[in-house]
């Protein structure tokens, strides 16, 4: 790569670059001085970017240090958003604590995916990360008992709408949607849309207990499985929202070269395919995650398909053009990138069949 090209790649566009700095400053163990040129910021654009990428809590933590330099209207908006996120996370944490106790009392297996545990691991607090839903991973053999438990707690099945189709739905989809008074639960019976990806990561996989504070502790996947799962999950949406890759970079921040290489190699053994490389290249581009393991960076960049996945995700991230579903052909980059996650025709055929089934379910 020519020097000029490398320099060009190092520059992130305007307010998006400020949004990246907001995220980076909140990583566990990161110093967080305000380094952005406040006078050069288009504040209305920055606010739109921050809200689209759902990093309001991270942005306010960063910007509050220079509150006097922020336009009052923007300051109020970010402060309000951050407070709402913290309050929502507090309610969700209490519900997760109660769900964990209820599952334990019923003898049901349970892990919490992403969400509050990942936020605590990435940012050393569960109050900053915006989470719309609570992701639960269960044993598919216990789906009926879990559905009875959720109904007893006041949840209703929102997708699929017909409870009689719940088991059929889970044979074709990895999750169902349950709602209750502003709370949303994504109930997972497997960890990936395509069963050829990470097939051995399930509710019986190695786990860790994450302390959210206030005496709340939740079980989630152990580090190797968690990194692998989050990489595949982000790839399923082509990483179009900054908060997802920020979570990964925060989770990996401060880890040594040997540990980073180990996590990547282990992700390959667990079946993440190119999703892990896509995540690492993207985290490296935005946050310098691979600065200590350049050999891995070079290895990933040398793979044409991994680099195409990374470039497609970066274009979606930087464009910030809104929800993909709101634009004509807006979801096309998401759909085609799925075919690159694993090599071989068998995977591509299985992915074609999966996407066709999903289209029919939505229809």
Check pLDDT > 90 for residue 126. no
Least confidently predicted of 90-99, 146-155, 328-337, 346-355: 328-337
Interatomic CA distance for residues 299 and 224, integer angstroms: 20
Integer-rounded Cα radius of gyration of the chain: 20
Residue for token pair 């680099």 = 307
Instruction: Write out pLDDT tens, residues 212-227.
Output: 988 999 999 999 999 9
Q: Report residue 109 as tokens.
A: 């297996």
Range 217-223 contact pairs with CB under 8 angstroms and sequence separation of 24 or more = 218/96, 218/97, 218/100, 218/112, 218/116, 218/117, 219/100, 219/110, 219/111, 219/112, 220/111, 220/112, 220/113, 220/117, 220/118, 221/111, 221/113, 223/263
Interatomic CA distance for residues 247 and 4, integer angstroms: 30
Check pLDDT > 90 for residue 274. yes
Check pLDDT > 50 for residue 7. no
What integer pLDDT is reported at residue 64 of this predicted model?
Answer: 85
In a 10 Å sphere around its CB, with 0-12 CB exposed, 13-18 middle and 19+ buried, how is residue 86 labelled? middle
Reading phi first (left if > 0) and then psi (alpha if -120 to 50, else beta), residue 185 is in beta
Dihedral angle over CA of 362, 88, 149, 152, nearest 10: -100
Contact between 235 and 191 under an 8 Å Cβ cutoff? The reply is no
Name all domains of the chain by residue range, CATH numbers in brackets: 10-362 (3.30.460.40)
Please provide the distance, in angstroms rounded to a whole number, between the alpha carbons at the two ends of the chain.
Answer: 46
Check pLDDT > 50 for residue 6. no
Query: 3-state SS string over 305-357?
Result: HHHHHHHHHHHHHHHCCCCHHHCCCCCHHHHHHHCCCCCCHHHHHHHHHHHHH
Q: Report residue 159 as tokens.
A: 């997708």
What integer pLDDT is reported at residue 36 of this predicted model?
Answer: 65
What are the percentages of helix, strand and coil residues in the chain, rounded to 5? Answer: 60, 10, 30
């Amino acid at each position: 790569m020519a020097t000029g090209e490398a320099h060009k790649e190092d520059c992130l566009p305007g307010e998006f670059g400020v949004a990246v700095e907001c995220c980076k400053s909140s990583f566990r163990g990161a110093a967080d001085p305000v380094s952005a040129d406040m006078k050069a910021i288009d504040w209305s654009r920055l606010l739109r970017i921050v809200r689209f990428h759902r990093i309001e809590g991270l942005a306010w933590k960063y910007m509050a240090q220079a509150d006097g330099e922020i336009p009052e209207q923007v300051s109020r908006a970010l402060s309000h958003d951050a407070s709402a996120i913290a309050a929502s996370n507090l309610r969700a944490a209490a519900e997760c604590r109660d769900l964990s106790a209820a599952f334990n009392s019923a003898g049901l297996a349970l892990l919490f995916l992403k969400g509050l545990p990942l936020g605590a691991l990435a940012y050393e607090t569960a109050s900053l990360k915006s989470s719309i839903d609570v992701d639960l991973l269960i044993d598919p053999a216990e789906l009926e008992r879990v559905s009875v438990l959720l109904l007893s707690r006041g949840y209703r099945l929102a997708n699929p709408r017909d409870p009689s189709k719940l088991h059929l739905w889970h044979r074709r989809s990895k999750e169902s949607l349950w709602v209750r008074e502003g709370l949303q639960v994504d109930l997972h019976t497997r960890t990936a849309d395509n069963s050829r990806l990470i097939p051995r990561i399930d509710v019986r996989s190695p786990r860790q207990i994450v302390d959210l504070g206030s005496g709340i502790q939740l079980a989630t996947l152990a580090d190797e499985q968690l990194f692998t799962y989050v990489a595949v999950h982000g790839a399923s949406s082509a990483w179009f929202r900054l908060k997802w890759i920020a979570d990964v970079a925060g989770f990996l921040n401060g880890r040594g070269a040997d540990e980073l290489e180990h996590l990547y190699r282990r992700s390959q053994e667990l079946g993440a395919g190119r999703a892990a490389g896509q995540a690492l290249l993207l985290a490296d581009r935005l946050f310098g995650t691979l600065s200590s393991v350049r050999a891995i960076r070079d290895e990933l960049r040398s793979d044409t398909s991994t680099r195409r996945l990374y470039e497609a995700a970066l274009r979606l991230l930087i464009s910030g053009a809104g929800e993909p579903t709101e634009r004509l052909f807006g979801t096309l980059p998401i759909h085609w990138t799925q075919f690159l996650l694993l090599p071989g025709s068998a995977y591509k055929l299985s992915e074609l069949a999966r996407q066709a089934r999903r289209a029919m379910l939505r229809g």
